[in-house]
């Protein structure tokens, strides 16, 4: 798919609407009390600050002409007290809003991550993991300033603007109208750049997503890169993507910077106009305009444009945040295609009968992977699935765990349609080891216990001994408490598989699914492992995919799958007698191994 590449821009599935701002408000709503307290603190602080120019006006027009030193001292102390209260309130506001913003950020990020846990494999098949990660981390972080300060400051500044205009009108209406002459020009500019600004930030977020996707891919594939000496080519690709992001960001931020100088210029022009007309009107002795009035009014002019500047800054932050909100909510709205039906029931304790009835499945419309697949595995039987690459072997075992929805047909366990039961109750009773032996960062014992968090140390060790992992674990510096890196980079491929095997077995499942479980294990270890598995697989239904046919000779039934169809079915002896696909595969592999043995 196009979006599954680092060099293809993502496209939004839906246009932005104000409904998304309402959804953002839903995160803010539970914290209304803290926000209201902060707003009241700032409004009080702003209202107190509005008295400063009036106090200066009184000093200029009353106390200084009357040489009232005591009055000047008293009113200066009042001014000092007002400034002290303003500073205290500002400190409280910073503490509350910082904590509030980070709390809301945590809740949004938690909702995205929780939703990602529920999305089916198909979601992760369709897009680079770096593009998913950037939404959980970068995009949510970009909302931090908006939630921590932007909303509170905007509401506060709106009240401040109301107070300022009120004080300005109370001093002189004529000068107030002169001050506000610049607002129409500012509103026109905002309207003109609005759409361009939003589109520019969308493009910037696309380029950021592409860059993060390539970085994640490069880190995961660093061994291949260095093995094939691809460093310089990768650096060129990285530099190109980084340059694209830098250009897109510069273009987006250009629109943000248009408002700041515009406001400064309009502020300067209106201030100049107030000075020019004010001095002219004073010289003309127009009633109500004095030196004190002009000084007080110029003080209010600065305060008038400060909240306008803050509102413009919030507007910029909001348009930037909108481009990220669209991506965030798009992720949260991604449909969970594999989910419990409304009246799903708990899966009863599994005995182990598994039946496929005319199962059809496709990853993409029009491309069938499985076509009318039917078979039945009875309790305790082991079913091996073989066939060429891309035949649908892994798809079959993925469907047993219901990682994907069927196109048609049924999968029954103990006669129960698995689409009718809760996914959690189904998967908890299965042990699954997929081709990718994923090891999490942490200790060996925690990685094995991942299959059963309530297991004791003794149970973990027993599982490790069963799959022949105990000896190599004990040779590590701290045994079972040895720390391993993400993806188990300190361990060999075979060691990672054995740990994953122990993890699957520790779950004590009634149905055990093994996808290439022994592909990275040496022959000597495999022989020991088979001895342990023979005991462990007793009374368990198991499905095994293996390219080493020698490991599945004793299976109850072998399915030869090709082109999405079961071409042959039977035990080893039966299929060898048929001299069909399985016989040909077994003989060719046997001859190949013999030639290797002779050559070695």
Q: Could you read off the pLDDT tens digit of each residue along the chain, which spans 600 residues?
A: 334 566 676 665 455 566 777 888 888 888 888 888 887 887 787 777 777 777 777 777 777 888 888 888 888 888 888 888 888 888 887 788 788 888 888 888 899 899 988 888 778 877 777 888 888 887 887 777 677 666 767 777 777 777 778 877 877 788 888 877 777 877 777 777 777 777 787 788 788 888 888 888 787 777 778 777 888 888 898 898 899 889 988 888 887 777 777 777 777 788 788 778 888 887 777 777 777 777 777 777 777 777 777 777 677 677 777 777 878 888 888 888 888 888 899 999 999 899 999 999 988 777 888 999 999 999 989 899 998 888 888 899 889 989 889 999 999 999 999 999 999 899 888 887 766 677 888 889 988 888 788 889 999 998 888 878 888 889 888 889 988 876 666 787 778 878 887 887 887 788 988 887 666 566 666 665 666 566 666 678 989 887 777 778 888 999 999 988 999 999 999 999 999 998 888 888 776 555 554 455
Q: Are residues 308 and 153 in contact, defined by beta-carbon separation less than 8 angstroms?
A: no
Give the number of C-alpha atoms closer than 13 A to the C-alpha of residue 122, restricted to the C-beta side: 18
Q: Retrieve residue 452's tokens.
A: 């059963």
Q: pTM (2 decimals)? A: 0.67
Burial of 503 (0-12, 13-18, 19+ CB in 10 A): buried
Of 402, 400, 376, nearest to 556 by C-alpha is 376
DSSP string, 283-325: HTT-TT--HHHHHHHHHHHHHHHHHHHHHHHHHHHHHHHHHHH
If you search the block for the tokens 């709390």, which residue do you land on? Answer: 103
Rounded Cα distance between 580 and 562, Å, is 13
Task: Give whole-number Cα distances, 482 to 451, 490, 503, in Å.
Answer: 18, 10, 16
Give the number of C-alpha atoms closer than 13 A to the C-alpha of residue 120, restricted to the C-beta side: 17
User: Same fold for the domain at 23-332 and the one at 354-429+509-599?
Assistant: no
What is the β-pairing status of strands 483-484 and 430-433? Answer: unpaired
Sequence-ordered strand ranges (E) for 442-581: 442-443, 483-484, 511-515, 541-545, 557-562, 565-570
Rounded Cα distance between 238 and 65, Å, is 71
Query: Which DSSP symbol is given to 345?
Result: B
The correct CATH number of 354-429+509-599 out of 3.40.50.300, 3.40.50.970, 3.40.190.10, 3.40.50.2000 is: 3.40.50.300
Of 4, 293, 208, nearest to 126 by C-alpha is 4
Count of CB atoms within 10 A of residue 88's CB? 12
What are the boundaries of each domain within the chain? 23-332, 354-429+509-599, 439-506
Rounded Cα distance between 220 and 3, Å, is 19
Q: Which CATH architecture has domain 23-332?
A: Up-down Bundle (1.20)
Of 503, 501, 517, nearest to 452 by C-alpha is 503
Q: Are residues 173 and 251 in contact, defined by beta-carbon separation less than 8 angstroms?
A: no
Query: Which DSSP symbol is given to 421?
Result: B
- E strand or H helix at 161: helix 151-171
Of 600, 440, 444, nearest to 523 by C-alpha is 600
- E strand or H helix at 359: strand 354-364
């Amino acid at each position: 798919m196009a979006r599954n590449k680092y060099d293809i821009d993502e496209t939004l599935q839906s246009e932005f609407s104000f409904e998304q701002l309402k959804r953002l408000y839903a995160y803010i709503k539970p914290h209304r009390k803290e926000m209201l307290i902060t707003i009241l603190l700032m409004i009080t602080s702003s209202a107190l600050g509005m008295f400063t120019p009036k106090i200066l006006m009184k000093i200029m027009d009353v106390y200084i002409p009357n040489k009232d030193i005591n009055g000047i001292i008293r009113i200066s102390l009042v001014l000092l007290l007002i400034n002290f209260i303003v500073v205290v309130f500002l400190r409280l506001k910073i503490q509350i809003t910082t904590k509030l913003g980070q709390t809301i950020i945590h809740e949004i990020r938690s909702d995205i991550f929780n939703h990602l846990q529920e999305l089916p494999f198909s979601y992760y098949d369709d897009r680079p993991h770096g593009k998913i990660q950037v939404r959980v981390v970068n995009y949510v972080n970009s909302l931090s300033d908006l939630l921590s300060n932007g909303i509170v400051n905007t509401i506060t500044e709106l009240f401040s603007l109301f107070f300022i205009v009120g004080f300005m009108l109370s001093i002189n209406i004529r000068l107030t109208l002169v001050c506000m002459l610049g607002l129409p020009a500012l509103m026109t500019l905002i309207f003109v750049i609005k759409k361009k600004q939003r589109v520019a930030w969308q493009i910037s977020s696309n380029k950021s997503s592409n860059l993060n996707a390539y970085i994640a891919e490069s880190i995961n594939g660093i061994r291949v890169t260095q093995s094939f000496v691809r460093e310089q080519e990768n650096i060129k690709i990285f530099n190109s993507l980084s340059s694209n992001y830098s250009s897109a960001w510069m273009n987006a931020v250009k629109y943000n910077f248009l408002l700041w100088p515009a406001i400064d210029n309009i502020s300067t022009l209106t201030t100049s106009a107030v000075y020019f007309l004010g001095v002219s009107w004073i010289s003309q002795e127009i009633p109500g305009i004095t030196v004190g009035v002009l000084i007080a009014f110029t003080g209010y002019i600065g305060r008038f444009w400060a909240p306008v500047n803050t509102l413009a800054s919030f507007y910029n932050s909001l348009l930037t945040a909108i481009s990220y909100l669209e991506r965030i909510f798009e992720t949260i709205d991604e449909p969970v295609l594999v989910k419990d039906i409304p009246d799903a029931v708990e899966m009863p304790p599994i005995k182990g009968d598994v039946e496929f009835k005319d199962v059809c499945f496709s990853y993409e419309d029009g491309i069938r992977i499985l076509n009318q697949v039917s078979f039945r595995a009875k309790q305790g039987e082991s079913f091996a699935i073989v066939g060429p690459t891309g035949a649908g072997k892994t798809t079959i075992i993925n469907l047993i765990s219901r990682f994907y929805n069927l196109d048609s047909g049924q999968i029954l366990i103990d006669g129960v349609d698995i689409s009718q039961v809760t996914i959690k109750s189904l998967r908890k009773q299965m042990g699954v080891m997929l081709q990718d032996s994923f090891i999490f960062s942490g200790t060996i014992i925690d990685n094995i216990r991942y299959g059963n968090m309530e297991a004791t140390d003794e149970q973990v060790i027993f599982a490790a001994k069963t799959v022949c992992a105990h000896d190599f674990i004990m040779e590590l510096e701290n045994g079972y408490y040895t720390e391993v890196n993400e993806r188990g980079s300190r361990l060999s491929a075979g060691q990672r598989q054995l740990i994953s095997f122990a993890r699957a077995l520790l779950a004590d499942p009634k149905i055990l699914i093994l996808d290439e479980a022994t592909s990275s294990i040496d022959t000597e270890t495999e022989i020991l492992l088979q001895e342990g598995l023979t005991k462990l697989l007793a009374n368990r239904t198991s499905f095994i995919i293996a390219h080493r046919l020698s490991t599945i000779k004793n299976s109850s039934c072998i399915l030869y799958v090709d082109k999405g169809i079961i071409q042959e079915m039977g035990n080893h002896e039966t299929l060898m007698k048929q001299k069909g696909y399985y016989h040909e595969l077994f003989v060719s592999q046997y001859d190949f191994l013999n030639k290797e043995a002779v050559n070695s």
